[in-house]
Amino acid sequence: MKCIIFANGCYGDLERYREIIKDADMIICADGGANYACKLGAIPSVVIGDMDSITDKSRNYLTELGVKFKKYPIHKDFTDLQLSLEIAEESGADIIILLGTLGNRLDHTMANIFSGMEMALRGKNIVHYGSDCIIYLVTHELILKGSKGDLVSVITMSDRAVGVTETGMEYPLHEALLENSKPYAVSNVMEGEQARITVREGVLAVFHYR
């Protein structure tokens, strides 16, 4: 089951997202993410959050369509995105693609990326889809499709990632140990249209710049 989550971050050209959302089984909006969903004509199953960033126009429109709203207090222990991820998992999603999570604020971006780490360890396919970069959370294997010359960086989200192998890259790795205090596996380059990245233990964030 494929779930799309709209967050209230940076999107760039909205047209880039039409292809990725067209076959979604479920759409969730984290508060102001609903504004972008409305612009794309995507109707969510639910809007989640404290409702401090959704516009009146978007809220009225979705209310007329019968969309469900789950309102939480402003002062809470979880972000709107984390609450949205929980709903996605409870609904049975095994592929979760997050939009608008890679914004201008580095703290928000880092928090958004780490929010999917536990779900990735539970076997969920977590992807952050941005206008210029796609970030995959990898706990086993990733077959990366792109173009020759695409830039790819691999960073461990866990303290260590054991047995990291990269093939189809200008600088291949074989059974390497990555530590988050020594992030050397950055700015690699795809040699063709496909590359393969695997890890035996740990969680990787794979950054693919198209």
What confidence tens digit (pLDDT) does each residue in 94-150 have? 999 999 999 888 999 999 999 999 999 999 999 999 989 999 999 999 999 999 999
Superfamily of domain 141-209: Thiamin pyrophosphokinase, thiamin-binding domain (2.60.120.320)
pLDDT of residue 75: 76
Note whether 203 and 121 are within 8 A (CB). yes
Percent of residues, the chain, with pLDDT higher than 70: 100
SS3 183: coil
**Rounded Cα distance, 169 and 176, in Å:** 14
**Do the domains spanning 2-131 and 141-209 agree at the CATH topology level?**
no
The CA–CA distances, whole Å, from 170 to 64, 102, 119, 164, 200 equal 53, 26, 31, 15, 22
* Average pLDDT value over all residues in the chain: 95
Longest dimension (CA), the chain: 55
Neighbours of 187 (CB within 10 A): 12
Q: What is the DSSP letter of 12?
A: S
Domain positions in the chain: 2-131, 141-209
Contact 29, 39 (CB under 8 A): no
DSSP secondary structure letters along 60-114 = HHHHHTT-EEEE--SS-SS-HHHHHHHHHHHTT-SEEEEES-S-S-HHHHHHHHH
Give mean pLDDT, residues 11-24: 93
Identify the band that residue 1 occupies on the pLDDT scale cut at 50, 70 and 90: very high
Choose which CATH entry (3.30.930.10, 3.30.1360.200, 3.90.25.10, 3.40.50.10240) describes domain 2-131. Answer: 3.40.50.10240
Q: Which residues contact 31 (CB under 8 A, 6 or more apart)?
A: 8, 47, 48, 49, 50, 51, 52, 53, 54, 80
Closest Cα to residue 209, out of 186, 182, 179?
Answer: 186
Share above pLDDT 90 across residues of the chain, in percent, rounded to a whole number: 90
- Separation of alpha carbons 146 and 185, rounded Å: 18
Per-residue CA distances from 150 to 97, 126, 182 (Å): 21, 21, 23
Residue from 1, 26, 9 nearest 128 by CA: 9
- Residue whose token pair is 């990269």: 166
143: burial class by Cβ within 10 Å (0-12, 13-18, 19+)? exposed
At residue 73, the pLDDT reads 84
